[in-house]
Amino acid sequence: MALDVAWNETGTRARLRFSHPTGNILTAALVDELSAALDDIAEARHVRLVTIEGAGADFSFGASVPEHRPGEIETVLPAMHAMIQSLLSLPAPTAAVVRGRCLGGGFELALACDFIFASDDATFGLPEIALGVFPPAGSVLLPLRAGGARATSAVLTGRRRSAADWAADGLVELVAPAADLDEAVDAWFAGSLGRWSAEALRQAVRAVRGPVAEAAARRLPEVEQLYLKDAMRSRDAIEGLQAFLEKRAAVWKDE
C-alpha cells in the first residue's frame, strides 16, 4: 500500500505517510488514496492535527511526469485539485512534515496544508517551467501563502529555496535537524494544538482559511482550464515532457 494512516493513542492526531520507490512521486493512484483518507478523517471529531509526510529521505519529487501527457492529464489534474480542495476544507488543522526535496506537485500538496514543518536540509521548488508548463495549484496557493513577489520568482525561475529561506518568509513554521524533526513536531503539537478543544480548532480553521479556501475555489478551476486548454496544447509543453522522459535537453520552438 502506498499510503499508511496511523493515529496516536488519544485519537487527536492522524499521521499520513505516503511512499513511492521513485522519490515519492504523486501518482493518480496515490492521490486517490489520499483523498479517501482525508474523507475518513473528516468524520473524526477529536482530531486536532493531521500531518502528511513522505517516507524516506524526500517528501516528494512531484507529480508523475508520464501521467501528465495528453490523454491522461485531463483526468489526473482535476483529481489532484480535488484532493487539494479536500485538504482546504478538512475540519481539522493540517501540516506537511517535509524532509529533503519537496518539488512540484509535492510542494503544491504542502502549500494546501495549514503548516509546514521542515528538516534543515529540506528544499522547496516548482520546476515545472523547465518542462514547458507551470504549476497550476502552486500558481494559486503560493501568492496567498508567501506573497506575489516570492511566488512569481518561484514559478517563473523554477529555482529551489531552502527551508530556512521559506521560514524567514513565514511559510515554514518550524525547522529542525532531520534526525530531530519528529520529536520537534511532537513537542510543537503537545505545546499548542494538542492542548486546545478540537471543536474550537474546527471553527478556527474555517475562519482563518477563508481567504485561501475561497480563492482556491474560485481560481483553481480557472487555472486548471488554462493549463489543460492552453498550456498543454502548446508544442513546447509536449517537447518539455518528452525531453524529460528521454533524458535530454528540450528544444524550444516558442509555440
- DSSP 8-state secondary structure symbol assigned to residue 8: -
For range 28-42, the mean pLDDT: 96
Please check the confidence at residue 77 and state whether its pLDDT lies above 70.
yes
DSSP, collapsed to helix, strand or coil, labels residue 52 as strand
**Which residue, among 23, 10, 51, has the nearest Cα to 184 in the 3D structure?**
51
For residues 250 and 239, what is the distance between their CA atoms, to the nearest angstrom?
6
pTM, 2 dp:
0.96
In this prediction, residue 238 carries a pLDDT of 95
Within 10 angstroms of residue 251's Cβ, the number of other Cβ atoms is 9
In this prediction, residue 214 carries a pLDDT of 94
- DSSP 8-state secondary structure symbol assigned to residue 60: B
In this prediction, residue 62 carries a pLDDT of 96
Half-sphere exposure of 68 (CA within 13 A, CB side): 28
Share of the chain above pLDDT 90, in %: 98
**Non-local CB neighbours of 192 within 8 Å, separated by 6+ positions:** none
Please check the confidence at residue 6 and state whether its pLDDT lies above 80.
yes
In this prediction, residue 175 carries a pLDDT of 98
Please check the confidence at residue 237 and state whether its pLDDT lies above 80.
yes
- Dihedral sign, Cα of residue 180, residue 204, residue 125, residue 79: positive
In this prediction, residue 123 carries a pLDDT of 98
pLDDT tier for residue 99 given thresholds of 50, 70 and 90: very high
For range 198-211, the mean pLDDT: 96
pLDDT tier for residue 118 given thresholds of 50, 70 and 90: very high
In this prediction, residue 216 carries a pLDDT of 94
Rg value, the chain, Cα: 18
For residues 58 and 17, what is the distance between their CA atoms, to the nearest angstrom?
12
In this prediction, residue 119 carries a pLDDT of 98
For residues 255 and 38, what is the distance between their CA atoms, to the nearest angstrom?
40
For residues 236 and 230, what is the distance between their CA atoms, to the nearest angstrom?
11
In this prediction, residue 54 carries a pLDDT of 97
Element at 125 (helix H, strand E): strand 123-125
pLDDT tier for residue 90 given thresholds of 50, 70 and 90: very high
In this prediction, residue 228 carries a pLDDT of 96
Please check the confidence at residue 232 and state whether its pLDDT lies above 60.
yes
